[in-house]
A and B are shown apart, each in its own frame.
Chain A
């Protein structure tokens, strides 16, 4: 069972390695493996990534032939379900973190967010709500339901982080303020 699962992984790695070496690197590098300008030959930008691809290909071939009698470890549909939940929770939290500050500033008519990115409370709204959502969402994911405990923990931990990073340092920007 372990052998066939590892062979599946080997196949994926082999395709990836070949795609990198034969498609991505040649199409996305300005110079080849070796470059000649006038009479001087030098190593081009494609050489190092090709070596990386070679490592992947050799690894895939070894994985195909080697037998590892270690404990079985492989991906299952449960991992995929978990990753979907995780992506949903983190995606929602990061969306709140990114957009809530500018949205609040616009709704309140406080002005352009770029000028408010270092001014409380505008600079902290997105982080506070997004961070709380992230912690509460992940606690809820484990518990199987959203709880007051998770929300309280999220709120307290984001407030502690604001106190730790934002209040004592003038030159530090909390997410997402550095992007505005």
Chain B
């Protein structure tokens, strides 16, 4: 098969896969329907304060697997739903930030700076339109970069990196993520070490499952669902419940602002906003391509650059006082991260953010698709099914973007009421739903206890200012790091210095060290 045949096969797998229903005589495939459903769900959860894309992905995964099973046909519908949620939640997150000054996620915080003042001035609808257009533009741009770059990067890695270099690359990724995520390199490295340790419990090549204390429960290791959902979701729920517990005296009244003046978003507005959207889309994509940095920094940088270049006319609001440019710059930047974040996932198998973690979990749970450089092998004699799936994923991402451009804005603007759902009622229900979902996937009560244990760990990490993301990424990469290192050691004839006597591997190791040294240099002010 040639490259174009693979692209067409991926598109066909989405449109001509198992049929769900027919519309006006035309068959609608399961994958297509699940992208639409996921996208609308994503906007819904994104617009609900206290929820978010990763939480919805975590809860829906076991339900999806129960519905579609573990067959090869399940992969595209399940991944399609998750991709839809990921993209929908990014757009939906702007709703509570703009309407009620309550950013549902850290990324949306910068959106409140100009979005909420616009609402106070009676321009809520216009602010939502600006957020929607900017978000859709940033997301689409970033997906195009992903589709163009990921295959080339993967091919380069397969061609130029041997086992020692791959081991060094994994170590560089771990040290990079550990030192860049969060404000402290030390805490990042501790979290990475703990994540690796969790990955190594109950595994190994010997007959005795290591680090299991000889117990049956630990000998099977910690499953990915218990670790991911525990640290990322349950930990966040525990923190959220505690915040509410402390703030129970706070009044929950929401002030209403009526609409007034022109709410339309015309060509003149778009021309004025376009440079800000373009710049932020570039910033977001560049940051998103680096694993672990995340959309909060992209939003902050996009906003800061836009603020430096913003020259308001007479009577126009400044940035921070309700300028549409502020909303556009922030939303384009944080949305551009989501597509680019999949570049390291698909080309290296290294997840860059929480949403990517759940896509990997789905791929691991169902099987038949292992994100990494091996996906992009353009084999001509035999079909590489993983490559067909990869192009199917790209097709679904573009479909979700199409949804975003068409119905996304209307749906998003109709969800302002969700912000009134009380969080103290929502979070306990989400906790029960998460624990039930985990048990349904792995029916062992100890898995619930492990999840709660990892939830407490995630809660403690957040409370001491330690990001849980390096922990989770280290857990994901731990098994691969060990396997690659074992193979590299064997392939180099048991050379203990295999990481240091080959130029590329040595360069990567030096880079890993430099990243750490750079991150602990004396800083003038907080990053």
| Chain A interface residues toward B at CB < 8 A | 6, 9-10, 13, 17, 20, 24-25, 28-31, 34, 40-49, 51-71, 73-75, 78-79, 82-83, 85-86, 90, 94, 98, 127, 131, 134-135, 137-139, 141-144, 149-150, 153-154, 157-158, 161, 164-165, 169, 171-179
Closest CB-CB distance, B245 to chain A, in whole Å? 5
Query: Which of B194, B246, B424 is close to A139, meaning CB atoms less than 8 Å apart?
Result: B424
B425 lies within 8 A of chain A by Cβ: yes
Instruction: Please indicate the chain B residues that have their CB under 8 angstroms from the CB of A138 in the complex.
Output: 241, 427-428, 431
Instruction: Please indicate the chain A residues that have their CB under 8 angstroms from the CB of B432 in the complex.
Output: 131, 134-135, 154, 157-158, 161
**Contact present for A48 and B482 (CB under 8 Å):** yes
B378 lies within 8 A of chain A by Cβ: no
Closest CB-CB distance, B249 to chain A, in whole Å? 9
Contact sample, A vs B, 22 pairs, CB 8 Å cutoff: A13-B190, A28-B213, A29-B208, A44-B206, A46-B210, A49-B210, A52-B200, A53-B193, A57-B193, A62-B516, A73-B464, A75-B463, A75-B464, A90-B452, A131-B432, A134-B431, A150-B428, A153-B429, A154-B432, A157-B433, A165-B440, A174-B440
Closest CB-CB distance, A126 to chain B, in whole Å? 11
Instruction: Tell which of B275-283, B301-309, B518-526 binds the partner.
Output: B518-526
Instruction: Please indicate the chain B residues that have their CB under 8 angstroms from the CB of A51 in the complex.
Output: 196
**Contact present for B241 and A45 (CB under 8 Å):** no
**Contact present for A66 and B186 (CB under 8 Å):** yes
Q: With the chains together, A78 CA to B247 CA distance in Å?
A: 13
Interface residues of B in 448-475 (CB under 8 A from A): 448-449, 452, 456, 459-460, 463-465, 474
Query: Which of A44, A46, A63, A82 is close to B190, meaning CB atoms less than 8 Å apart?
Result: A63
B189 lies within 8 A of chain A by Cβ: yes
Instruction: Please indicate the chain A residues that have their CB under 8 angstroms from the CB of B465 in the complex.
Output: 68, 70-71, 73-74
Q: With the chains together, A75 CA to B440 CA distance in Å?
A: 34
Q: With the chains together, A94 CA to B494 CA distance in Å?
A: 50
Q: With the chains together, A99 CA to B193 CA distance in Å?
A: 37
Instruction: Please indicate the chain B residues that have their CB under 8 angstroms from the CB of A67 in the complex.
Output: 522-523
Nearest CB in chain A to that of B438: its residue: A175
Instruction: Please indicate the chain A residues that have their CB under 8 angstroms from the CB of B452 in the complex.
Output: 90
Q: With the chains together, A174 CA to B189 CA distance in Å?
A: 38
* Contact status of A175 and B435, CB under 8 A, knowing A51-B196, A55-B192, A142-B245: yes
Instruction: Please indicate the chain A residues that have their CB under 8 angstroms from the CB of B110 in the complex.
Output: none
* Majority DSSP secondary structure for residues of A touching B: helix
Instruction: Please indicate the chain B residues that have their CB under 8 angstroms from the CB of A54 in the complex.
Output: 193
Query: Which of A55, A141, A171 is close to B196, meaning CB atoms less than 8 Å apart?
Result: A55
**Contact present for A69 and B66 (CB under 8 Å):** no
Q: How many residues of B contact A (CB 8 A)?
A: 76
Instruction: Please indicate the chain B residues that have their CB under 8 angstroms from the CB of A169 in the complex.
Output: 66
Nearest CB in chain B to that of A177: its residue: B443
**Contact present for A69 and B526 (CB under 8 Å):** yes
Closest CB-CB distance, A43 to chain B, in whole Å? 5
**Contact present for B464 and A48 (CB under 8 Å):** no
Instruction: Please indicate the chain A residues that have their CB under 8 angstroms from the CB of B456 in the complex.
Output: 83
Q: With the chains together, A10 CA to B193 CA distance in Å?
A: 13
Instruction: Tell which of B40-48, B73-81, B111-119, B485-493 binds the partner.
Output: B485-493
Instruction: Please indicate the chain B residues that have their CB under 8 angstroms from the CB of A64 in the complex.
Output: 186
* Contact status of A173 and B211, CB under 8 A, knowing A55-B192, A161-B436: no
**Contact present for A43 and B486 (CB under 8 Å):** yes
B29 lies within 8 A of chain A by Cβ: no
B311 lies within 8 A of chain A by Cβ: no
Instruction: Please indicate the chain B residues that have their CB under 8 angstroms from the CB of A57 in the complex.
Output: 193
Nearest CB in chain B to that of A165: its residue: B440
With A52-B194, A59-B190 given, name 19 new contacts (CB 8 A): A28-B211, A48-B200, A48-B478, A51-B196, A55-B196, A57-B193, A62-B186, A65-B520, A73-B465, A79-B242, A138-B241, A139-B425, A142-B244, A142-B248, A161-B433, A172-B440, A173-B440, A175-B445, A176-B439
**Contact present for A142 and B424 (CB under 8 Å):** yes
Q: With the chains together, A79 CA to B416 CA distance in Å?
A: 33
**Contact present for A153 and B200 (CB under 8 Å):** no
Q: With the chains together, A75 CA to B210 CA distance in Å?
A: 32
Q: Mark B176-194, 1 if CB is under 8 A from A, else 0.
A: 0010000111111111111
Instruction: Please indicate the chain B residues that have their CB under 8 angstroms from the CB of A85 in the complex.
Output: 245
Closest CB-CB distance, B130 to chain A, in whole Å? 30
B63 lies within 8 A of chain A by Cβ: yes
Closest CB-CB distance, B512 to chain A, in whole Å? 11
Closest CB-CB distance, A72 to chain B, in whole Å? 8
Nearest CB in chain A to that of B490: its residue: A42
Nearest CB in chain B to that of A14: its residue: B190
Query: Which of A44, A46, A62, A69 is close to B520, meaning CB atoms less than 8 Å apart?
Result: A62
**Contact present for B192 and A48 (CB under 8 Å):** no
**Contact present for B481 and A17 (CB under 8 Å):** no
**Contact present for A69 and B523 (CB under 8 Å):** yes
Instruction: Please indicate the chain B residues that have their CB under 8 angstroms from the CB of A9 in the complex.
Output: 187, 190, 464
Closest CB-CB distance, A130 to chain B, in whole Å? 9
Closest CB-CB distance, A40 to chain B, in whole Å? 8
Instruction: Please indicate the chain A residues that have their CB under 8 angstroms from the CB of B494 in the complex.
Output: 40-42
**Contact present for A45 and B436 (CB under 8 Å):** no
**Contact present for A175 and B464 (CB under 8 Å):** no
* Contact status of A45 and B464, CB under 8 A, knowing A28-B210, A55-B193: no
Q: Nearest 9 pairs between A and B by C-beta? A: A178-B443, A63-B186, A59-B189, A55-B193, A56-B193, A52-B196, A138-B428, A59-B190, A73-B465
**Contact present for B440 and A66 (CB under 8 Å):** no
* Contact status of A29 and B245, CB under 8 A, knowing A13-B190, A68-B183: no
Closest CB-CB distance, A84 to chain B, in whole Å? 12
Closest CB-CB distance, A123 to chain B, in whole Å? 12
Q: With the chains together, A68 CA to B465 CA distance in Å?
A: 11
Nearest CB in chain B to that of A41: its residue: B494
Q: With the chains together, A5 CA to B401 CA distance in Å?
A: 46
Closest CB-CB distance, A31 to chain B, in whole Å? 5
Query: Which of A43, A63, A139 is close to B187, meaning CB atoms less than 8 Å apart?
Result: A63
**Contact present for B197 and A157 (CB under 8 Å):** no
Query: Which of B184, B245, B436, B489 is close to A141, meaning CB atoms less than 8 Å apart?
Result: B245
Q: With the chains together, A141 CA to B368 CA distance in Å?
A: 44
Q: Mark B119-130, 1 if CB is under 8 A from A, else 0.
A: 000000000000
